[in-house]
Structure 1
Amino acid sequence: MGLSSVVSSKALRFRFTFPVRKIRVESGRGGLMYKTLLVDDERIIREGIAQSVKWLDYGCALVGTARNGLEAYEMIRESPPAIVITDIKMPGLDGLALIERVKQEFPKIEFIILSGYGEFEFAKQAMSYGVRHYILKPCNEQKISEALGTVVKELEQRTSRELYLTRMIDDFNKANYESMSNLVKRGNREEVQLQINDYFQRLDNVVADLGEAKTSGLGLCKAIIQASPADQRAELIEKLNVFAEMETLEQIRHGLLAIADEITKVYEEEQRRQPNKWIHQVLELIEDNLDQEELSLKWLAQELLFMNPDYLGKLFKREMQEKFSDYLLRVRMEKAIKLVTTTNFRIGEIAEKVGFGNNSQYFSQVFKKYTGDAPREYRIKKA
């Protein structure tokens, strides 16, 4: 039935009863449908559009019609739809005022405007609120259907983008928040900056809404602040207020880099001031983990101390007057000599206890190079 035909049946008008913007509709198409509201003060137009458009074909369900903006606004507040098709000139609250009011409370609702020839200035103003779909009256079901199909496609793309963004942020939270915290504590400013820049590069590919970017940036910023010394957190949290005033993703990135840099400098300076503290901790960790094959300068620095390995190596050499690798070998061999001469452990067992794993042959070679004798010969000589 065309819109030019007179529709004798009653218009499909009822209050929203659905709590979400998508509803499940039993149809040949199946699945969830986008809730759609139709608003026009002319009954014949409401009824014509309601009955002529094949809503389900476009993944939509017409869940209500309204005679004016005020009635539509009440229905929207009761249960927000995904799409609103509205006339501009209506008594009381007109379409333009409706769009302005709804966009303030429900910015993600999409509007399709129906407008007469003399209402183009109103339509332009509506578009300033983010409305992108404008149909000139008199219109037919084909034009409305085309606009509806375009809006649904945009909604699907936005939903897909938001799901991807949510997954990406969740993955980043799980995999990288702890990593970021550790990088900050190491005082590694370069690595912190690289990781933040990489994160925002990925974020830029999927975030179209500034609010989403701010939310994501705040999550990362909070993780960084959690890594800061407790006595500085209150001051740093105050700085989060600047995010509310930022207008671009680039501003958010720079703001986050500045906060991260400030915290990282604190740890960097602390490492410079307390070399003996770190070395004492390294010596304890070597003693506690001597049986671990993976024990190395890099492993200690990254996995246990959250420091830059190169920096720790230089610090160790300066304080101990000995390279880390030489010290580790000496401690392992001293313990091995003690076990060889004071216990009945098999050579393979001793190799495991001093960090050589199940490679007893390599242990014996190192032991002989260090003492001049293989472990069994050494045991016999010292018996």
Structure 2
Amino acid sequence: MYRAIIVDDEADVREGLQLLVNWQERGFRIVGEAANGAEALAYMPIWRPDFVITDIRMPVLDGLEYIRKVRRQFPEIAVVVMSAYGEFHYAQEAIQLGVLDFLLKPLTRQSLAQCMDKAKALLDERDQLRGRERAERQFIQEKWLQELCRGKLVKPDELKLIGDMLHCEDDECFQVLLLEMDDYERYVAECSESELDLKRFMIRNIAAEIGCKRGWLQTYEDSQERIGMLLRHDPRKRPELETLCSEIRDSLRRFVKISVSIGIGKPYRSWQSIRQSRHEALQALEYMLLEGKGGVFHYGQLERYYHSGDRPSAGQAPFNIDTIIRSLDDTDPVRLNRELDLFFEKIRTGAKTPELVRGLCLELIMGMVRLVREYDGDVSRIFGERLQEYETVFVKRSLDALRQRIGELSRRTAQYLSELRAARLPDVMQEVKAFIDEHYSDDISLKMISAHVYKNPAYLGQLFKATFGESFSQYVTRLRIEKAKELLRKDQLRVYEIAEKVGYVTLDTFYQRFKQMTGMNPTEYKHKISS
């Protein structure tokens, strides 16, 4: 709704114009009226009109002089002039002053309506142009702010320009604040790009609305999952800063159901050091790995951990990396899962910094890589062509997510090692299988076969199960029953004859094994396939 005023020395004319058309239906709201140009000019800063309709001949300050002053102070206002027939010679001068239209008194409903529609179209176009210019300025300013915070603006003239753009004094201190979406990976999987853009907009809008109350400078898109803010630093208001950060976080959670973590860098006086403040805000966000998501992390409170001299190395710390690697090598999934739980529990209670956490996890992954290489395996099968899985350690933002991903890598590694071991077994296992396939109808046993291949029976049984995924007795039983089913389908032999042919001495044992494998006895199976 555009703001309009009426300027005329006759009260009846002013009232009549208000009643002549429905101003609101045409997009206008009358915010004031004046009896002469001087009175109108005095109230212009208060009324802030977009549209002025004024008479020419008025006392104190006439319409033409009023328009001249309006044009100098408020050049974007749409002005329409009214005049009696005898004053038409004023029209030329009014047009030279840039009035939108010249209306003859008395005004008709149609002439006023047409004039208002014309004014609204002009104002709409003005606002669209302003919007485009504002968007362009915002884009340029945000781009420069991104470059500043990433340390890509270093020339003195560039730094001066960004200072002028943000209306900053040379001796002011600034710091960077970063808001990171906690569930960004889930949003990427579940949301469209437009929905993601909407979430970014809501974070930015709420942060800007709360922040601008305290003189915060500017928001910008730091990355796909983070919104950045450049703040004026006031050491007297540090508690207030953290309170406001909590307010932003809580407002996002309450009103738009978005959880964010907030990292705050230290303040710096020079523009060249803003990149350091952003880097510190990123480091502060790393602490969500230890503290959990949804917090406010101030680098100034955490930096003592980064510079402490008592950080244990992975080799010195009581972390069970070697035990986990042995569990992988032994293909013991229960033990492996237990050791991984113990590893991450020790991290929760013993690791002081995200840096140490990621270092320990990297050492664990490198141990997996070494183990695969010891078996002459293809490392890229588990860890990617360029060992991309190393990046897992740096992109996961919570211990739970890191535990889940390393658990998946461990299980895949254990399975692959099992396959590699099977491939490396001597040909004797294939010989054992071939022997069973040929002699399944005989009274064979592991002891008999181990003597044939010169192996210990217990060790041979372990190798057989590791190689073929089932025990010796399970394989023999399955093979005999499959052969019996073939005979029941094809031959006209009696059931006891088939039992003897596949290696069963007693019919009862054959019936029992057959039912265990198929859910029915041989006679029922024969009737089923016959029907």
TM class, shorter-chain normalised?
0.3 to 0.5
Higher relative contact order (CA 8 A, sep 6+): 1
Which protein is bigger by CA-based radius of gyration?
Answer: 2
> Scaled by the length of structure 2, what TM-score is found?
0.29
> Scaled by the length of structure 1, what TM-score is found?
0.39
